[in-house]
Structure formats: C-alpha cells, structure tokens
Amino acid sequence: MKKVYLSLLFLCTGILFAQEKNTLAKPNYQQAAKFSPARLRTMIFSTEVSPNWINFSDKFWYEYSSPAGKYWYIVDPKTRSKKELFNRSEMAARITSIVKNPFDAQHLAIQNLRFNETSDNIVRFEVQSTKDTVKSKEEIKKLTNKSDTIKKKLFYFEYNLSNNILKEISDSTEKKDRLSWGSFNPDTSRVFFSKNYNLYWMDYANYQKAIKDDKDSTIVEHQITTDGVQYYSWGGEPYSVTTGDKKSEEDEKKKRNSVWLNWSPDGKHFSIMRKDNRDLSALWVINNVGAKRPTLETYKYLMPGELDSTENELYIFNSADLKAKRVDVSAFKNQTISPWSKDRSKESFKGRYYINYWHGDNKEFYIARSSRDLKRIDILAVNIDGTVRTLVEERSNVYLDVKKPYIVNNGKQFIHWSQRDGWGHFYLYDMQGKLIHQITKGDFHCDELTAYQEGTGNLLFKANGKEKDSDPYYTYYYSVNKNGGRINLLTPGDFDHQVASSESSNYFVDNFSRVNTAPVSNLYNSNGQLIMKLEESDLSQLFAAGYKFPEPFKVKAADGVTDLYGVLYKPFDFDSIKTYPIIEYVYPGPQTEAVNKSFGRSMDRVDRLAQMGFIVVSVGNRGGHPSRSKWYHTYGYGNLRDYGLEDKKFVAEQLANKYNFIDIDRVGITGHSGGGFMSTAAMLVYPDFFKVAVSGAGNHENNIYNRWWSERHHGVKEQVSAKGDTTFNYQIERNSDLAKNLKGKLLIVTGDIDNNVHPANSIRMVDALIKANKRFDFVLLPGQRHAFGEMTEYFFWRMADYFSEHLLGESKINEVDMTEINKDRPIRR
C-alpha cells in the first residue's frame, strides 16, 4: 500500500510539474516583430504639437501627421482661429506640374518649411525630386570619388499666403545667408570666428564673399589673438578629435570655426572663456570599419580623481581696440565657470542674424562659479572693469544644482532657484544680493521658470509633486506672483504636461498624456483658460495591430516608506493562466529615471520586449529622479554602484506577491549605459535573485568614466595639505571587483568606438570575468558609438534571444538568419 501511495504521489507531482512547465509563456517572435521601429512608423504618427512661433509673435504654425497624411496649420490665438496653411490638393497639383514627380494631398513631401524672417505671409520649403542634376563645384570638391557628380535635384519654393502665389526659386536665392562659424557683433558690422586656435574677425562685406565661396582668396581677415594653440585655443572644440591624418589636421587648422562670444547690449564689450587642456590626458578609440585603414581617434577626456593643473579663464574684450582683460574669478581649486547668455528674443535677432548677449546690462553680467566637488556654488556679478561681486552663496554637504537667475522688475531684482530647504524653490533677491523673500515653498519641486510678466509680476514655471493625488513625476504648469501668495495651476488633469510658451508668455501649447492615454494638444492663455483644442493623436492603426496600454503602478522602496512609481508592460496576448518571467528595464539615474510618464513611440526596450513573453517593468529607485526632494535625489551619493539595487529587487518581489502570473524564480534585468552598469551590478550583488542580464554600453568602472558625471553623483574628496596644496581623492566600487560572484547568465554588449562610455569599461569587466573563470557572453558592435546606431535593431534581437533562451527555455539562438530584421528590409540584388 505504501508503494502504491508513493507512486501516486510521484505521478501527481510529475503532472503538477508538467502543468506548471506548460503554463510558462513561450517566446513570441512574430508578436515582437509586429512592433519594430520600422512598423511603428506606419502606426504612430504625430504625438505632439510643436509650435513654431512666427517672428516672435503669438501666432504659430505647426505640422501634424495622421493616417490621413500630413497637414500644415497656422494658428492665431487672439482670434481663436486655426486653418491650413494651404489647400493640400491644390499645392500637390502645382508642385507636380513644376517638379514633374507626381504628388497628391496625402503624399505631399514638403521639407524644411519655415516662415520668412521679415514677413508673416511668406513661407519657403523644398521638395525632393527624382530628376538627375550635376552637383555644385563645392560638393564635387568634397568628394573622395570625383566621378560621382550626379545627384537628385532639390526644388526650392516660395509661397505667399496672402495671394496664394507659389513660385520656384533658384538654389542661389535660397542659398544659406549665414555660415555656421560666424558670430556677429550687435550691429552686425563684424563677424567673429576662430582659426588656427586664435580669434579673428572680418567685416560684413567679406562675410558676404565667404557665403559665396568660403575659400575665396580675396577675403580679408583680421587676427585678434596670437597665442592660441591646440587644446589652449580661443575657440573651436577644446576636446577636439584627431585621426592621425596629418593632412586632415593641417586642413582643420586652416578652417574657420565658431567661437562663443557673449556681448554687452551696447556692443562695446564681449566676454569669452578659455581653458588650457594641453596637459590633460588623451583617450583613444579605433574605428576598424570606417575607412580603408583603421583610424585612430584621439580626444581629451577627464577622468575622476585625475590631476587638473589648469583653471577656466574668463576674459572681457573691448570691441573698440580688441584688447583683452582677464577677470580674476578664482575661489576654488579646479572650479567651473558658467557664463550665462540671455534667452533668444526679438531683441537678439538683428536683421537675419542672432546675437548672443550676456546675461546682464552694459555694465555687468552674471555667471556661476562652482567648486570641483559641487558643494559650493556662487552667483557672481562681473563688471566690465574686471571687478567681481558675489550675489548668492549656496553651500551643501552633497552636490548642488544651479539655474540661471531670472532678472525681473526692470532689472531691479532677480529670481534665484535653490534647493536650500530640501526642495527646489524660487527666491526673490535685490541686485545687491539681499534676500527679499522665498516665493514658493512646500513639499514639491519647482523646475524651469519659463517666463515672467512685468505687467502683473507673475512668473510662469513648471513643477512636480504639488498635486498630491498625482504621480510626482507628472510635470504641471503654474503661475505665482513674485511677492508670493497663491500658486495657480494652469494645466489641470492627471497627466504629464509638456508646455511650449510664446515669447510674450501670453499663450502656451500643452501636450499632455500618460503612458495609458492617447496624447492631446491644447492651446491656453497665461491664465489657464482654454483657447482651443488643437489635436488628439490617432492611434487607431496601432490598436488594430493588437497594441494595449501598459499599467502604471505605485509600490514601496525597500525601506517600506518611500513611494516608488513604475510602469508594467504585458504581452498583448497576455493570458492570466500562464506564468511569465519578469524583466526589469533599469537606469539608475541620478540625473533621471528610465520610467515613461507620457505616451511615446520609444517602445523597443519595454513594450516590444514584453511581446516576447515577459512581464517587463520600469520603476524608480531612491537616488533617482531629480524632480523629487533633494533627499531622494542624492540618496546614492557616495555609493554609486549599489544604491538602487535593493529597491529593484524589492519591487520585483512586491509585484510577484501581488500577481500570481509573475514567476519570481525567473528574473531578468537589462539597461543601457548607466542601466548596463546597473544590470551587471545586480547580477553580482544579488546573484541568487537576478538570473539573466543583458548589459549595453555599461560604465562598469566609474573610475574611468567621465569626471563630470562620476565625481558629481558619487562625490570626490578635496584634500588640502599643510603647504596649502589641493588634491582630489576619488574612490568608487567597480563591477569588476565582484566578478567572482556571477552565477547567472550575463551578456555584455558595447560599441567599439564609444567615446562616451569607453569600451574599456566593458573590456575590463570581461577581463575580470575571465580571470574569475566565469562563462558569459560578449558582443562587440563594430563602428558603433554609445547608442549602437545602425546596429540597434540587431542588438534588440540578440537581447530577445538571450532572455528567451535563459528565461523561457527556448529561442531562435541556433538559427543563423535574423528573419525578423530581414522582413523589414528591402531585398537588394
């Protein structure tokens, strides 16, 4: 009897095990392929209105696409009118008759539409044809293959809205009337630029010659400085790239390059920054596939903790004699100087050219000065005589953020943003640096101050977390008087609101949605009154393909107190009877969190991955998003490797407790850049919990990542010796230190010419795993930089294969061809 009982028990256990195995989802390659980027372009069209304000007025135009084609509209908020810029059918017929390529209203291929800078009734645009034409002399000069002289003709058009006249214009008429290297003085009589690392100028007549032919030997140039050398230049790129090709480098020295000048409003002075980077160490990447010979790229790259023997230099030039005065703004070792420019406005637009004005008046301008550890930030006023006065001092035991002060009350006061009480808020100061009062206060985060209305004294700004029943990451738009008082909500509704305001701030466009709603765009006035509804995205074709919205959720962090907000993505053919592995898509921050808050077309790493047969979640972690409290944002300070991992583990466990369709024994994790770093760290810190990781372009060793990010978010210790010498000590935990802990399946991927997160980060991680005698997988993407470029789709399917194989037990890993990619590409013979 005992034997019979045991046999039945084993039989039942086997049946239950088989049933459990059978309920596990299977990889669905076909479903994931339906939502590739190429196919999404045929299902998702416009999701927002981007207003193009016409010549700094309150009128604007925009283009908007739907399954019915592309439309162009002009809107006048004052008259509450919205109409098409032109009749699409008539325009298609006219263009067809000129270009000789057929167009119709739904397929009107207008490019680069813009209003004439001096008229509200004239627009220009281009249309590409299939007609062969000969390339210009300038284009032929740039060719490596001189026989390739034919191109498809681009037609240029001008259209008058007042009389509906369309005319073709020549490319010479349309030729650019400005060159990228030109920086104008306020009366546009002179153009400034850099060349051979020095500062130059030419008059407007010679600039016109350069527009016609940049290599015209009769162009007269005037050299201002003579001491510029590579990496200690008066303009151009301070961390410039060299390829080892001597001829190319010599040609580069002869080219005119842009220079960033900030002008006084009267044009009598300008300021410029300079830094000596000659002693900074170089970094290299080798492009093995970009040319006949592999090419070496050399560039300056600051790493954390490294000695920096030079300081930022600030100069003021007198525009009459072009003599420079160096301004002493020294206070901290290896400090950062950040000069501000005025926001572009009607006043900064002279004729056809923008002028960069400094943030101030004719006598002084304003800059920020930050210590290397970012625990000390000063707002300074710099006088044209070279004297400097401190307006505001910010001090903290963790790193500080700073924003440009907003000058108000006709130059008598300024609004300063600070997190001194633990939240981002606005403070009113007089121009002597005396605090008048705090304007906003409370447990919410004020962000960008977009406009100030002199007539009412109201400031318009974006903020997070003030609406207590809403996700604190949803951005809202508010107004408040500079004297304080009631804060007025201008964009009601439980959505993420992204606004674009006119220069006058009288009107703004609000694009709002959640991850589970279709985007809507409305026009409001500065009082929050609805002027008109503009658009609602048409997602009908996306839903026809089987799309379903994801699900936002709120959980607790591992401390049991802090609220975390995330989004859960299910397969569109979700079956509650089945069980699914869970994959976390991660990015630790701290400058952001990889959690979508509004609807968008970026679905590769969440929606589409879920279609393979997974539950995919993205969720915040303590130490993440800056739009919460300063405590939340800096939680990971001093612990940049491990700070977010406990929350990721705890969230997965909470979701598995809530949903029985989640298989908590099959947990994957993936991310890119900081997320690549975090996903590998998770496998090493919690090796029994996280089973599979795909890590893309991870900064696995933050001691060789860039100084700005690493020192800022982890911290660097400033040490002053008895002699007064200052050094900076940087110590941080690395993923490679824990290589011996790996138990699960790990795929590491990097581009071989990534000049952001250098491939050495991944290669050193690989080295540590090999030395620890671990089995793992490694993919090097040739010729790809940080974002993987043209190989992004290849990377997705390698990731899909990897998770399917190791979490679902089957995949196409043994098939040679990636048929899912091939189906989206035309066959060329």
Q: What is the CATH number of the domain that holds 554?
A: 3.40.50.1820
Ranking 73-82, 169-178, 317-326, 586-595 by mean pLDDT, the lowest is 169-178
Residue at 797: amino acid letter:
W
What is the reported pLDDT for 13?
46
Pair 758, 649 in one domain: yes
| Mean pLDDT comparison of 3-12, 475-484, 727-736, highest-scoring range | 475-484
What is the reported pLDDT for 680?
98
DSSP letter for each residue of 33-59? HTT-HHHHTTT----S---EEGGGSS-
What is the reported pLDDT for 340?
97
- For the segment 569-597, the average pLDDT, to the nearest whole number, is 94
Beta-carbon contacts of 291 under 8 Å, excluding residues fewer than 6 positions away, are none
* Average pLDDT value for the chain: 92
Reading phi first (left if > 0) and then psi (alpha if -120 to 50, else beta), residue 735 is in alpha
> Residue 15's pLDDT band (boundaries 50, 70, 90)?
very low
Pair 111, 30 in one domain: no
Could you tell me what percent of the chain has a pLDDT over 90? Answer: 80
Q: In this structure, what are the phi and psi dihedrals at residue 488, rounded to the nearest 5 degrees?
A: -100, 125
What is the reported pLDDT for 17?
44
Q: Is residue 109 part of a domain?
A: yes
Q: Could you list the residue range(s) of the whole structural domain that residue 120 is in? A: 52-174
**Sequence-ordered alpha helix ranges (H) in 666-750:** 674-685, 707-714
Domain's final residue, options 140, 159, 174: 174
DSSP letter for each residue of 546-572? T----EEEEEE-TTSSSEEEEEEE--T
Please state whether beta strands 530-536 and 520-525 pair in parallel, antiparallel, or not at all (unpaired): antiparallel
What is the C-alpha to C-alpha distance for residues 242 and 296, in angstroms, rounded to an integer? Answer: 8
DSSP letter for each residue of 577-627? TSBEEEEEE----SS------S--S--IIIIIHHTTT-EEEEE--TT--TT
What is the reported pLDDT for 247?
63
> Residue 10's pLDDT band (boundaries 50, 70, 90)?
very low
Q: Is residue 462 part of a domain?
A: no
Question: Facing residues of 60 across strands?
Answer: 53, 75
Pair 26, 136 in one domain: no
Is the model more confident about 828 or about 497?
497
What is the C-alpha to C-alpha distance for residues 107 and 420, in angstroms, rounded to an integer? Answer: 55
Pair 21, 117 in one domain: no
Report whether pLDDT(348) > 90. no
Reading phi first (left if > 0) and then psi (alpha if -120 to 50, else beta), residue 498 is in beta
Q: Is residue 271 part of a domain?
A: no
Q: How far apart are the first and last CA of the chain?
A: 73
What is the C-alpha to C-alpha distance for residues 560 and 564, in angstroms, rounded to an integer? Answer: 10
What is the C-alpha to C-alpha distance for residues 698 and 555, in angstroms, rounded to an integer? Answer: 27
Pair 581, 666 in one domain: yes
263, 239, 251: which is closest to 191 by C-alpha?
Answer: 263
Pair 169, 22 in one domain: no
Report whether pLDDT(11) > 70. no
- For the segment 284-292, the average pLDDT, to the nearest whole number, is 91
Domain's final residue, options 141, 158, 174: 174
What is the C-alpha to C-alpha distance for residues 394 and 808, in angstroms, rounded to an integer? Answer: 53
What is the reported pLDDT for 697?
97
Sign of the torsion angle spanned by Cα atoms 141, 142, 147, 148: negative
Are the C-beta atoms of 111 and 126 separated by less than 8 Å?
yes
What is the reported pLDDT for 8?
46
Pair 678, 565 in one domain: yes
Are the C-beta atoms of 341 and 358 separated by less than 8 Å?
yes
> Residue 792's pLDDT band (boundaries 50, 70, 90)?
very high
Pair 743, 769 in one domain: yes
Q: Is residue 396 part of a domain?
A: no
227 burial (CB, 10 Å; 0-12 / 13-18 / 19+) is exposed
Q: Is residue 660 part of a domain?
A: yes
Pair 561, 626 in one domain: yes
Collapsed DSSP state (helix, strand, coil) of residue 211: helix
| Secondary structure letter of residue 653 according to DSSP | H
Please state whether beta strands 60-66 and 530-536 pair in parallel, antiparallel, or not at all (unpaired): unpaired
Domain's final residue, options 151, 174, 197: 174
Q: Is residue 739 part of a domain?
A: yes
What is the reported pLDDT for 18?
44
- Residue identified by tokens 């001829």 is 247
Pair 123, 167 in one domain: yes
Are the C-beta atoms of 427 and 416 separated by less than 8 Å?
yes
What is the C-alpha to C-alpha distance for residues 291 and 113, in angstroms, rounded to an integer? Answer: 36
Pair 22, 88 in one domain: no
Q: Is residue 688 part of a domain?
A: yes
477, 349, 447, 355: which is closest to 53 by C-alpha?
Answer: 349
Q: What is the pLDDT of residues 387-399, one digit of tens each?
A: 999 999 999 999 9
- For the segment 655-667, the average pLDDT, to the nearest whole number, is 97
- For the segment 32-46, the average pLDDT, to the nearest whole number, is 94
C-alpha angle with apex 723: 722 to 724, nearest 5 degrees? Answer: 90
What is the C-alpha to C-alpha distance for residues 791 and 784, in angstroms, rounded to an integer? Answer: 7
Domain count for the chain, please give it: 2
Report whether pLDDT(240) > 80. no
Q: What is the pLDDT of residues 253-277, one digit of tens each?
A: 788 999 999 999 999 999 999 999 8
Ranking 151-165, 310-324, 410-424, 599-613 by mean pLDDT, the lowest is 599-613
What is the C-alpha to C-alpha distance for residues 300 and 280, in angstroms, rounded to an integer? Answer: 6
Quick check: bond before 67 cis, omega within 30? no
Q: In this structure, what are the phi and psi dihedrals at residue 515, rounded to the nearest 5 degrees?
A: -65, -20
- For the segment 513-537, the average pLDDT, to the nearest whole number, is 97
Which helix (H) or strand (E) segment is 657 a member of?
helix 645-658
What is the reported pLDDT for 176?
65
- Residue identified by tokens 């630029």 is 193
Q: Is residue 517 part of a domain?
A: no
What is the C-alpha to C-alpha distance for residues 478 and 489, in angstroms, rounded to an integer? Answer: 5
371, 454, 368: which is closest to 417 by C-alpha?
Answer: 368
Report whether pLDDT(2) > 60. no
Residue at 367: amino acid letter:
I
| Secondary structure letter of residue 13 according to DSSP | H
DSSP letter for each residue of 743-795? -SEEEEEEETT-SSS-THHHHHHHHHHHHTT---EEEEETT--TT-GGGHHHH
Could you tell me what percent of the chain has a pLDDT over 70? Answer: 93
> Residue 613's pLDDT band (boundaries 50, 70, 90)?
very high
484 burial (CB, 10 Å; 0-12 / 13-18 / 19+) is middle
Pair 699, 667 in one domain: yes
For 540, the token pair is 């009908």
